[in-house]
Amino acid sequence: MPSTTYYWRIDANNPLGKTTGDVWNFTTVQWTQLTFDNFEAGNFGNYTDGGANCLLYNGTTHSHQGNYAVDIQSTGDPSASFYHTNGFDVHTPGYTQIKVDFWYKVVDLEPNEKFYVEYYNGSSWQIVATFTAGTDFPADATTSFYNPIIYINEGTYNFPTNMKIKFRCAASSATDDVYIDDITISAK
């Protein structure tokens, strides 16, 4: 059960008697889902597209599940991105960790081309994860989906009242595509 403390103890019995062990415990922690988007409604959901190099893909080939995914392509300018439309208060509830769980597939990124996951800390965007062709996934065309999970810790980043997440492509051509799907943002 979430947010429950469990206790246990191991006692040793032998012919000479009983030895009482120490009491151990752990508490389960529940993640609070802030957003989930699979884009199956045919729109960007909780996100805003950055512009011309961010498209809503409709088809099954590049969608993780269903028919829709977000396609970011081309250069790393702001139009090759999408980001939360509204900020989320991760300060007031006292959260200490944010989890970004998503699926992605790339098509035709050359070696060393990248895409990023960025975090808005209340005043500026910070890169929290970099995914590089040839290192984190095979360069050139790929048919595989990947499911990274990124943890953002309060000790490293400021937790504001208007946190946002952004996905941004930094490739070299309009034929370089990163398809993002099934995004869950949670906090605890």
pTM of the model: 0.85
Q: Positive or negative CA dihedral for 92, 93, 97, 101?
A: negative
User: To the nearest 10°, the Cα dihedral for 113, 116, 37, 44?
Assistant: -80
pLDDT tens column, 36-90: 999 999 999 999 999 999 999 999 999 999 999 999 998 767 899 999 999 999 9
Cβ pair 71, 62 in contact under 8 A: yes
Residue 131 pLDDT class (50, 70, 90 cuts): very high
Compare 158 and 7 and report the one with higher pLDDT: 158
Backbone angles phi, psi at 84, to 5 degrees: -55, 135
All domains of the chain, ordered by start, with CATH? Answer: 31-187 (2.60.120.260)
Is it the case that residue 160 has pLDDT exceeding 90?
yes
Number of Cβ atoms within 10 Å of the Cβ of 13: 8
pLDDT tens column, 138-148: 887 678 999 99
Average pLDDT, rounded, for the chain: 91
Q: Report the alpha-carbon distance of residue 38 to residue 13 in Å, rounded.
A: 55
Cβ pair 124, 142 in contact under 8 A: no
Query: Residues 180-184: what's their mean pLDDT?
Result: 98
